[in-house]
Amino acid sequence: MTTHFSPVTKDQLAEIMLVENACHSHPWSEQTMLSCIGGRYFGFMLKQEQSILGFYIGEYVAGEATLMDVCVSPDHQGKGYGKQLLIHFTEQAKSLGATQLFLEVRAKNISALMMYINWGFVEVGRRTGYYPSNIGYEDAIVMKKKL
Ligand SMILES: CC(C)(COP(=O)(O)OP(=O)(O)OC[C@H]1O[C@@H](n2cnc3c(N)ncnc32)[C@H](O)[C@@H]1OP(=O)(O)O)[C@@H](O)C(=O)NCCC(=O)NCCS
123 pLDDT higher than 90 = yes
What CATH number is associated with residue 66?
3.40.630.30
Quick one: pLDDT at residue 120? 98
**CA–CA gap between residue 116 and residue 124 (Å, rounded):** 13
**CA–CA gap between residue 119 and residue 95 (Å, rounded):** 18
Quote the domain boundaries for residue 60.
3-146
Q: Is 109 annotated as a binding residue?
A: yes
Q: Which neighbouring-strand residues pair with 105?
A: 141
Quick one: pLDDT at residue 68? 98
DSSP symbols for 4-18: EEEE--GGGHHHHHH
**CA–CA gap between residue 138 and residue 108 (Å, rounded):** 8
The answer, yes or no, to whether any atom of ligand 1 lies below 6 A from the CB of 112, is yes
**CA–CA gap between residue 54 and residue 82 (Å, rounded):** 8
> Band of the pLDDT at 66, cuts 50, 70, 90?
very high
Would the pTM count as exceeding 0.85? yes
48 pLDDT higher than 90 = yes
135 pLDDT higher than 90 = no
Pick from 122, 119, 125, 121: nearest CA to 141: 125
Whole-number mean pLDDT of the chain? 96
Q: Which neighbouring-strand residues pair with 55?
A: 45, 71
Residue 90: CB atoms within 10 A of its CB come to 19
Contacts of 141 (CB under 8 A, 6+ apart): 104, 105, 106, 107, 113, 123, 125, 126
pLDDT by residue (tens digit) across 69-83?
999 999 999 999 999
The answer, yes or no, to whether any atom of ligand 1 lies below 6 A from the CB of 140, is no
SS (H, E, C) 73-87: CHHHCCCCHHHHHHH
Indicate the number of domains in the chain.
Answer: 1
Pick from 30, 29, 96: nearest CA to 59: 96
Quick one: pLDDT at residue 134? 84
* Residue identifier of the C-alpha nearest atom 27 of ligand 1: 111
> Band of the pLDDT at 87, cuts 50, 70, 90?
very high
